[in-house]
Structure 1
């Protein structure tokens, strides 16, 4: 079992000036190049020039965007229009133009969080930007908040949460049962904008899932590595091996998870003091109902929890379970988020101009078109400048592939008053 690495959380000043990003030297799978040792790296908003180790976005003349990197000495990216060498990008600033050996031109850019999270390498389904940004809104996050996330996946939601809370004293605990998913997520976060959002995140990797981590966070687990139950001697213990807390029969996966949990599994120490509570909790789990009772004392009173559920059947099960059990939560909102992206571009009315003229986009000229120099874009721009106003029309229509249903977001709120034990414990 690979363990999350112990890291010192730097101060806010350190986070936003210069921070050393230690990355092991790895061979580049596609190129055979090695990544050189890197000096302390300055965050992109301070020094936007591209360096080895950066992950960037390139735009072609058609507006297509591709993620490239990490940039390595001697590395390259092959395209259908030629090879793009990593070395040609080093030292360049955003909006710079680079060429392949065939003369195709690309403009260089830092990726936005939306672009990065939807294009980065992943081993699990992602939380799309439309859902992630809405979830951050429902969680009512603020700089310096403490948040618990279960279901790390590829780290996309983790980065959206971290962007909202990053500040003095902030902390994010993120849990996943899949070791490879969690490791990939940590790597993805370290590579975005030179690791800007990495400080203050603890990655919990446990085959026992969130329930196992909850025991460590609440102090019930004081470093034990073996748990009774591997050889049940009583009827009660025998029943517990085949039934979940909510009475459902355990699936084969759940039985295997329990078996592995009861084996020798070691977790990192609890980074929080006794009685610590979270300002918000985000869950993306298939078995949410099994952990709600255990999470209640970890959430501050009157603070929100956001659940991501794939279908309405899960939402109905949640509401029915809450009606039966109470559980100290109230349902605030159930949302399905839909985005419809539109294409708005100018076009010349052929009957009012001589020849065939087309002006793309919003009427602006991209940096790539301005500096291409091959005559095609320049001719189009020149023609556009001389089109009479009465010959310019506008095409406004939805894109042919709108983002469809991805899931439901359920906002819960802790509605129960703090227990006597909570009231007597200083809030950390």
Structure 2
């Protein structure tokens, strides 16, 4: 793996995750265990009338993964692979042109079966009627089909190990700086960056993991380039934001019913309705994802205690322009609503809350500097996914993009691949 290849793994301890989590619907409550066959078997047992359609569906996604692996591993120029895609990679082409709902409806007629297959829309932020089937299949593989590991100490430990390795290799990592300008040669090639401390750092190559909107419309110093990108990016749809409640509990969450590390709650089989209610914030129950990180790694909480993170989607516009008093009131009510809903699945939760923190779309805008708090970058619609995704290369030589806003897309898996590919592009540019 990337971490092995670059000497990061020895500094990390990996915890094997046996089960993905519990998924709850009004009439279905089940546990996802990693592997293609278990999910297929459960679906056929639950929806026997859909057996033939489910067989076809799983056969086709198997073909998709084989073609995707071949596309990724083939030592051929990208332009050539794209030119022969219709012949060699028809499943990639097909899924790149369809929403998830269109892709599923052709094989599976039962709406509840389709809803359950579309459960992971919450990891991408779009309901099946709008979500690219291509990116859904990417996320499905990483979340439900392939076993996953958790880094002991959490993602901050992974970041620290990477920083340690970078320094061991003779490079610098500098904290407490914000890049305020990317210097270019009249918009043709990068020259360096300027920080908020007034420092100027020369560079032949720059990889930006800041959001692509700020990188291309604010940081670069060429007005013509900025205007061109601003016109293009203004037309692109951003993902939703979120309200997240962080809870510190006086007991292990397992004692109040959190038997798996992840709980995915779907109050309805209609994901589009759930998406719209999330945007409006007008329903007592919303689609919700809950994670007990201390179940992965008990050292993340004091002995005998635990943490929970509960997230619902939210529309940034519902939170902008509020007075401080109105914002605080809305924030408190959102937290109460989330805890109230979660307590239906974890009885007695309120009695064990020792501390609580709340993040809103304004939090997502302020700290990670995400425009409108868009947690998944540009929305993974058909026109903004696969080969239509904002590329990592730019019109400025030596400037490359990485992260959720660019190729291949959002999520931990997507961002890791994005960083790996951006480094590869930068290395080629330096040769």
If the length of structure 2 is used for normalisation, what is the TM-score? Answer: 0.20
- Which entry has the higher C-alpha Rg, 1 or 2? 1
If the length of structure 1 is used for normalisation, what is the TM-score? Answer: 0.20
Higher relative contact order (CA 8 A, sep 6+): 2
More helix by share: 2
